[in-house]
Chain A
């Protein structure tokens, strides 16, 4: 059962903010989706390890310096830039 408190907590973790209506909709939506995915709890997986197929440790590349994006390309899309770097609001008061 998903509560409003759960939604607010996950929103904080997700760095997202919602208005009251959106929060109510999320409580309902997430409750039905989580209820559905929770059907997995009925499957016996005792003795099974987690699947790690996507990880391939046999074929790692050499740790060698390769050319990378030039600085001006890397900051090309930055909404705010200063002195060739990304600009953000003051972090330390």
Chain B
């Protein structure tokens, strides 16, 4: 029997009933990874490590031990997250041979839950991009249509989950990098509240916006993953010290009385007609289940993207200044002097988009422009935070498209950075305001490509998001 299409919750039951072992599951996933190698969803596979962990878990199950839900479940993680002793490449030539000297806190959390990590996912270099075409190794293909991109930057993670190469993945989301690929590949992607999941041991892109989150086949599996990932980490200054909750308690099966907001500005120019209709259908579905639909205007929400590109590029320029090829990374032979070493290492190690972000970041931070760009963007950010606060005084969650279009063709936007940036127009405001949001599949377009819808909540309202998303996922088919 092929188990690779099942959900984590279904497998957790079978594992406990002794109907399948973790080693069997792991072998099936490893075989599928080999079969689907041409998708380039993974940069590396950790076969020996995974099988050893799986057999440990099987041993514990056979001894009748009670284990966490994730125990024995093969998963993958994005290749910007450290696992001690294995490569972390960020899909960059600069880190092609980098071996992590320590594990990320979330990897330790996953290991404590006995998850079996089988490999590391392809991504846009240093998480900069919306199509995974910026990988320095190879672009990743969308398993729903191999001529299309899987989205990005966690494109390998979304493609892996969609192609059954592991039952979940962990990605990172700075401006939509978990949700947009989840939408384009037809899987569930969660961006938790800023600070809920530790970033210690994850390569930084824009530290005030970065957040790690799970990609899964179902909403309930997303809750299982968040249970394992979330938690305060003393090693990280921005980690939120909030009470630990059980996200499996989220599900009431009802949205009666829930106020769902539709943001007027999110349905304007640039939004594909089929995507728009799918979102409005979802709103009607919720209405039929007893939710109240509220139309709200957020006049400044359109400025979030400009704000995002200033802030994220400024932080990226600063974060990536540590890549000099001295402590790790590539290094040229026979440099003339230290400056020559820096210049050549960085120029040869970084790809085009990474250089573009570093250049933009240093431009907006440079003398004479700082006030006009960086400081201005921080003020607009305040305006957006206030506007979300106003909005959440009128509704409980916001329903929107995740991406303005379905998956686009490989190469279609590769030479137009601004067009590529616009695919994140509905996701970036969430990071700017530090909010949680989930993307779930809500239908197919006429070419059978998945459409994703996004639910945005107040800070630390993941339980509400899970419940509202789950009602759609489990009850939409009944209509």
Residues of A within 8 A of B (CB): 6-7, 9-11, 13-18, 26, 29-30, 32-34, 36-41, 43, 45, 48-56, 59-61, 69, 73-80, 86, 88-91
Instruction: Give the residues in chain B near A50, CB-CB below 8 Å.
Output: 375, 378-379, 381-382
Q: How far is the CA of A59 from the CA of B317 in the complex (A)?
A: 27
Interface-side segment among B11-19, B267-275, B324-332, B404-412: B324-332
B350-A43 in contact (CB<8A): no
Interface size on B, residues (CB 8 A): 69
Shortest CB–CB separation between residue B262 and chain A, in angstroms? 23
User: Which of B98, B194, B310, B360 makes the CB contact (< 8 A) with A40?
Assistant: B310
Q: Which residues of B contact A80 (CB under 8 A)?
A: 326, 331
Nearest chain B residue, comparing its CB with the CB of A49: B382
CB <8 Å contact, A69 and B328: no
| CB closest chain-B residue, reference A54 | B208
Asked whether B356 lies within 8 Å of A29 as measured between CB atoms, the reply is yes
Q: Is the CB of A78 within 8 A of B362?
A: no
* A-B CB proximity, top 10 nearest: A50-B378, A77-B328, A79-B331, A54-B208, A45-B379, A73-B101, A51-B381, A51-B382, A37-B306, A48-B379
Nearest A residue to B308, CB-CB: A37
A29 touches B417 (CB 8 A): yes
Q: Is B373's CB under 8 angstroms from A69's CB?
A: no
B341 touches A16 (CB 8 A): no
B294 cross-chain contacts in A, Cβ below 8 A: none
User: In chain B, residues 331-354, which have Cβ atoms closer than 8 Å to a Cβ of chain A?
Assistant: 331, 335-344, 346-347, 350
What's the dominant secondary structure at chain B's contact region?
A: helix
Closest chain A CB from B102 CB (angstroms): 7
Closest A residue to B195 by beta carbon equals A56
Chain B residues with CB under 8 Å of A30's CB are: 356, 359-360, 363
Nearest CB of B to A50, in Å: 4
Q: Which of B63-71, B234-242, B283-291 forms contacts with chain A?
A: B234-242
State in angstroms the CA–CA spacing of A66 and B270 once bound together: 52
Residues of A within 8 A of B237 (CB): 56, 60-61
A-B contact pairs, 19 of them (CB 8 A): A9-B366, A14-B317, A16-B359, A17-B344, A30-B356, A33-B309, A33-B356, A33-B418, A34-B360, A40-B307, A40-B377, A51-B379, A53-B208, A73-B101, A73-B102, A77-B99, A77-B101, A77-B327, A91-B338
